[in-house]
Structure 1
Amino acid sequence: MTFQNPSRDEIKQILEQTNTIAVVGLSDNPERTSYMVSEAMQAKGYRIIPVNPNADVILGEKCYPSLKDIPHPVDLVNVFRRSEHTPPIAEETVAIGAKVLWLQLGVHNDEAAAIAQKGGVQIIMDRCIKVEDSILLPQGKSKS
């Protein structure tokens, strides 16, 4: 079966329900896409949790070496890693009980998608979360 991302309406609902985003592969270099996207999402009101074993603090938030090390709930896992590295990230996403696994633009892995789906986690692949958020929630998240 060919993978298909959720509809735009479903993605909008996911973003509206998301508060905490763990970002796997978030760089502490402000010139990197992962930093710029995460900084923009943080400015829109999302809590960004950096997952980077080589840094202590990024964007004012404590870094964790892996998803399993984060001591509080995560709504969505956003991934800035090469496609071939995503299956173990999908396994950790399921293990921590996150609701959504989001593979950034250019990242696609059918095995990771199958792991997530089997674990009850929604998956979005090959899309930029910042672009989708800007299009679908231009005024920011509605406070319910």
Structure 2
Amino acid sequence: MTFQNPSREEIKALLAHSGNIAVVGLSDKPDRTSYMVSAAMQSRGYRIIPVNPNADKILGETCYASLSDIPEPVDIVNVFRRADQTVPVAEEAVKIGAKVFWLQLDILNEEAGRIASDGGLTVIMDRCIKVEDAILNPRNN
């Protein structure tokens, strides 16, 4: 059976009830997609928690080397990594008790999705969180 994302209504509800977004692979370079998407989400009121072992702060927030190092609950794990690097991220997302495992646009990994889903997380793949939020919650545009 092939993977299917939740409905738009389900995604809208997930976003409405989420505050903390841990961004795995968030770059500190403003010209990178991960930075631009995260900055946009931050400006829309979400708390961005950078996961980047090579930086101290990004977007004014403390960086963490891994999801397990984050000292507070995480609603969404938003992943900007190559598809072949997402399985360990899914395992760690389950371990920390995140609610949503989100692979950005053009990132799809059925095994990572299954691991996250089996661990109780809602899985979204191959969708841009910024685009989905702008479409589903136009109040902040």
TM-score norm. by structure 1 comes to 0.96
The aligned residue for residue 57 of structure 1 is 57
The aligned residue for residue 137 of structure 2 is 137
Number of aligned residue pairs = 140
The aligned residue for residue 43 of structure 2 is 43
TM-score norm. by structure 2 comes to 0.98
1:108 CA drift (Å): 0.3
Gaps of 5+ in 2: none
Alpha-carbon displacement from aligned partner over 1:61-95 (angstroms, at most 9, x marks no partner):
00000000000000000000000000000000000
Q: Distance in 2 between matches of 1:105 and 1:36?
A: 14
The aligned residue for residue 109 of structure 1 is 109
The one-letter code sitting in structure 2 at the alignment partner of 1:138 is P
Which secondary structure does the structure 1 equivalent of 2:138 belong to?
A: coil
Which secondary structure does the structure 2 equivalent of 1:31 belong to?
A: coil
The aligned residue for residue 4 of structure 2 is 4
Q: Distance in 2 between matches of 1:20 and 1:71?
A: 12
The one-letter code sitting in structure 1 at the alignment partner of 2:41 is M
Which secondary structure does the structure 1 equivalent of 2:22 belong to?
A: strand
Q: Distance in 2 between matches of 1:102 and 1:118?
A: 15
The aligned residue for residue 32 of structure 2 is 32
The one-letter code sitting in structure 2 at the alignment partner of 1:77 is V
Q: Distance in 2 between matches of 1:6 and 1:78?
A: 16
Which secondary structure does the structure 2 equivalent of 1:89 belong to?
A: helix
1:32 CA drift (Å): 0.1
The one-letter code sitting in structure 2 at the alignment partner of 1:93 is A
Which secondary structure does the structure 2 equivalent of 1:139 belong to?
A: helix
Gaps of 5+ in 1: none
Which secondary structure does the structure 2 equivalent of 1:12 belong to?
A: helix
Q: Distance in 2 between matches of 1:10 and 1:117?
A: 15
The aligned residue for residue 72 of structure 1 is 72
**What is the aligned-residue identity percentage?**
70
1:116 CA drift (Å): 0.5
Q: Distance in 2 between matches of 1:13 and 1:42?
A: 18
Show the 5 A alignment for 1:6-25: 6-25=6-25
